[in-house]
Structure 1
Amino acid sequence: MANKSYHELTDKEWKMVEKILPAEQKTGRPQINPRAAFNGILWILKSGATWRFLPERYGKWNSVYKKFQQWIKAGVFENLTRSNAERGEFFTLDSTFCKVHRHALGARKNAPGHETKQDIESSRGGKTTKIHVLLDENFRVVKFLLSAGNVNDNLVALPLLQGLKLKDKVVLADKAYSTAKIRNYLEKQGAIVCIPDKANAKVKHEFDEELYKKRNVVERFFCRIKDYLRISIRLDKLSSSFSGFVCLAIFLLSQRIHQ
């Protein structure tokens, strides 16, 4: 299947995706072409368009949307982000705001399996969602989490770090993460902490300014991921849907960042 656009999967990428897709039903109505459906989802991701504007070459928009939701529930997109990123020498913590379009508001409260507010809340930029990431030096995302836009970064740091092997790893982060709780956790894990002190800090810590410059990798990552317009502006009511798109963008960036 020849690629019609850069956003569509290469044959190599499709092989990676195909092996983790759930088996298709062999009975009932004819199934939608899975590769066409996947490329259709990527078209939505890149263009930022609503589902009804999906080009016909990918299949009926409602069929592709249904497949998108099925794959979310099956963990397909989450599985695509799994990597050997813990081999990196240093990790960077940070977050970015995503503005929420009015179409994303009004999700049914207490929807099964979802938080009531769907990681959407008012902040200085209006209604926003935050993407929190732990990234290695090779643009590989070790872990990411969503939160409402008014959540402090330091409250999400430990959930990002817990469960990872941090011994002898350098952890870079800005002043927002300069708390005793975070520093103590990293030191107990044997990590090398490179976080500047806040201006009003009573206890001063050693800080390597040259090493800290490597933190720009996360800023470049956020610039790249927001090239996918469905992430730059959130249109999804449910966090599970928005998270699925974030996973897809992470997968594509991991495959193409050095091309």
Structure 2
Amino acid sequence: SSPAARSKSMVMGEASRGSPSLQEGVLKAGWLKKQRSIMKNWQLRWFVLRADHLYFYKDEEETKPQGCISLKGSQVNELTANPEEPGRQLFEIVPAGEKDKAAMSHESFLLMANSQSDMDDWVKAIRRVIWAPFGGGIFGQRLEDTVQYERKFGPRLAPLLVEQCVDFIREQGLDEEGLFRMPGQANLVKELQEAFDCGDKPQFDSNTDVHTVASLLKLYLRELPEPVVPFCNWQWEDSWEAIRSTWASPNRLQISWMV
């Protein structure tokens, strides 16, 4: 079958043993179109995200990459869709601002995903790589990794985002009708998510909509690789306390904080 007809995300069981998708340390892999720098036409390539580099191959069976994009000192931006060209989900990887010029190692790259959800997944994965060293990329990051990084700023019972959201909801929203059921402002939720993912620590004020904060908290919990209650404890054969005592400290503390 043609590359376009195959899965757009990495399926470990379907890749060959020699496939770069099976190599150690792969964070994400899948098909993307890359715009050539001179001819400006599009090439379908198999992309593999590993460490802080994005490699691209002619196909998923190749073991030698055609090229490599260094993500250090970069940023990734979603581009506004052109209504006259439906189906073109574009994003770019570009050098970051002036403050990061010393780390700049490449020109800009324009990439096209197969769908909006596919582009969202790629952008989140790449941002996580770029911003994780600076305390960002927390959406979709392991709870243990977030807590371990934030410990350098002092002891906490849960990630800063969770503490901020829970404190705000307790102060502003306990009497709010439809809390955790009514959606918040989608654009503001996205802005706050991107701010936290970029390592910023945005503050909520009295004008912030409590449903937006609740939606942000739900989004964070939904995107954790594993639920706060670990998969291994989904069989409720023992008492609650016995199960909770087996959890890693970050999971146990976050549940205690939220309850």
> TM-score scaled to structure 2, two decimals?
0.28
Higher gyration radius (CA): 2
Higher relative contact order (CA closer than 8 Å, sequence separation 6+)? 1
